[in-house]
Amino acid sequence: MDTGTTEKPAAADEFAPSIGESTDPAELAAILERQRRAFLAEGPPTAAVRRERIDRLLAMVLDNIDDFVEAMSRDFGTRSRTGTMFAEIMGMLSPIENTRKHTARWMRPAKPTPLGRLTGLRTEVHPSPLGVVGIIGPWNFPLQLVVVPAASAFAAGNRVMIKMSEVTAHTAELTRKLAATYFDPAELAVVTGGPDVGAAFTRLPLDHLFFTGSTGVGRHVQRAAAENLVPVTLELGGKNPVVVAADADLDRAADRIARARMVNGGQVCVCPDYVFVPADRIDRFVDTLRGKLREMFPAILANDDYTASVDTANYERIVGLVEDARARGAHIEELAPEGETLPDATARKIAPTLIRDVTDDMPIANEEIFGPVLLIRPYTDLDTVIDHINARPSPLVAYWYGPDRADFRRFVANTRSGGIARNEFAIHMYSEEAPFGGVGHSGMGAYHGKTGFDTFSHMRTVASTDLPFAVTSIAAPPFGRRTAKFVEIALRTAHRRNRRRVRGKLPGAAPTA
C-alpha cells in the first residue's frame, strides 16, 4: 500500500533485506565525525530545513508501507498486518505532524526577565541544537520508536544516528537501505549489527543518546555513555500494575484489561503486568476475563492476528517463567483453544495465561513478563496495594479502573510511576503535548511534543547589557565600606525573614503559641 504522493526513489524489491549485513564498529566514529562536521558547517538549521527533514523521514515510511509490514511480519513470524499499520505506522503520524506544525514556534527564544530589561539587562533563552543525537531502538516496535524520536531531534536542529535492533533484523536492514535513499548520511545514518555494534554505539562521544529497551540493558547504556559524559534519555519498562477499584464496572474493566494485555502479543512496555482485584470480586473478574480472551481468540496457531514471541529466546524466557511459577505452587490457567496444543515452540505462540496464587519468591512476580501472561492478585485494603507497588521499582505506567473518587486520588498521590491511566490502556500517551517517560527503574527523561523538542535542545541563556557602569564593580575588589554595609544589611534581612518562617518548625524546637 502506497499512501503517499512522493515517488519512490527505487523499486521496493531493491530493498529486500540482506540479513547478516552489519556496520563495522570502526565505521561508527567516521559517521559521527562526518555528521558533526556537517552540523558545525551548517549552523543551526532554519525551520524550513528542519520541517523538510521531518517530511523526508515520514516519506521514507509512508512510501514503503508494504515493505515495512512485510519485514516486520518476517521478523516476528506472525504479526497482524492491520495491527502493524495501526500501532506501528498510524501511531507515529499524529505526534510527528504535531512536531512539524510547531517547530518554528518552539525555536523562538524566550525572554524570561522583563524586570531586568527595565534596569538595562536583557536576557533570552535560545533553544540551541545539541549536534549529533544517537537513537537506539527496541525490537517490539522497531520502526515507530526510532522514527518518532528522530523527528523530535530533527525539529530541534540536530543530525541523527540510529542503531536498529538486531532482533528485528529484516526491519533493521530495510530501514538502513531506505534511509540512504532519502537522506545524506551526514543528516541521518542508520546502522545495523549485533551486540558488538550496539556496545560501540553507546561509547560514541555523541551529544545526546536516546535509548528504548529493557532496564537491564539501560544500565549498560548509561554506564557506557558516562565515559564521554553523554547525556542520556532512557525509555525503559517495568511491571505495570493495575488496580480494579471496589466500585469499578467489573465487566468493562475485565474486557479492557484483556485487550490491553494482548496488544502486540503482550510485547509492549506499557502493557498491564499484574492486576489487583477486590478479594470478594476476584472470581467473577477471572470468569469475565477468561470469557473475553476465549472470545477474542477462538484460534491461535493459524490466527495471523495473534502476534508470536519475537524470537526463540523470548519465547523460552516466558515459558520458563510460567513453568517456574507452576512448580512453586501458583495456579496456572492457559486458555488454549480446543484442539490446539500450546505453547508451541515452532510458531513461538503462547496461549493467554492467567496466573493466581503468586508469591514474591517467584521470578515471574518480579520480572517484566513481556508476553500474553497476566498475574491476578486479591486485595482487601488499598493501602496494602500502595505499599506493594512502592516496595518495588517504579513502573512505566500504573492503571486504575474505576471512578475518579478519593481512593483514586490517594492512589495517584501516594504511588510513583512514569504515568497514570484510568479506565483505558495507554491513554497517558495520547496527548501530543503531554510528556512520556519513566521514573527510576522505568527510565529517565521524556519526549513527545514540546518535551521531545526540549530533550534534544540545549536551553542556552544569552544575556547582554548596555549599561554605562560595570555591574561587577559591586562584587570585585577592592571592596569599600558601602559594599560591606550593603552585604551585611542584606544578609541580616534575609536571616530575620527566614527565622520567622521556621520558628517552631525545626526538630527539637518548642511549639509556637
Annotated catalytic residues are 235, 269
For residue 59, which of 181, 202, 217 has the smallest C-alpha distance?
181
Helical (H) or strand (E) element with 12: none
Contact 171, 198 (CB under 8 A): no
C-alpha cell at position 72: 516486520
Determine the Cα–Cα distance for residues 250 and 253; give it in Å rounded to an integer. 5
Q: Which runs of consecutive H residues, i.e. helices, occur in 185-336? A: 195-202, 215-226, 250-261, 282-296, 312-327
C-alpha cell at position 182: 532519502
Amino acid in position 198: G
What angle, 0 to 180 degrees and rounded to 10, lies between the N-to-C axes of helices 169-182 and 47-62? 140
Helix (H, G, I), strand (E, B) or coil at 159: strand
Contact 421, 469 (CB under 8 A): no
Helix (H, G, I), strand (E, B) or coil at 176: helix
Burial class (CB in 10 A: 0-12, 13-18, 19+), 427: middle
Amino acid in position 480: G
H, E, C per residue of 20-71? CECCCHHHHHHHHHHHHHHHHHHCCCCHHHHHHHHHHHHHHHHCCHHHHHHH
Amino acid in position 270: V
Helix (H, G, I), strand (E, B) or coil at 298: coil
Question: Does residue 496 come out as left (phi exceeding 0), alpha (psi in the -120 to 50 range) or beta?
Answer: alpha
Determine the Cα–Cα distance for residues 130 and 385; give it in Å rounded to an integer. 43
**Terminus-to-terminus CA distance in the chain, angstroms?**
77
Determine the Cα–Cα distance for residues 136 and 144; give it in Å rounded to an integer. 12
For residue 380, which of 241, 246, 240, 252 has the smallest C-alpha distance?
246
Provide the 10 A C-beta neighbour count for residue 100.
21
CB-hemisphere CA count at 13 Å for 315? 19
C-alpha cell at position 381: 485494603
DSSP 416: -
Determine the Cα–Cα distance for residues 48 and 54; give it in Å rounded to an integer. 10
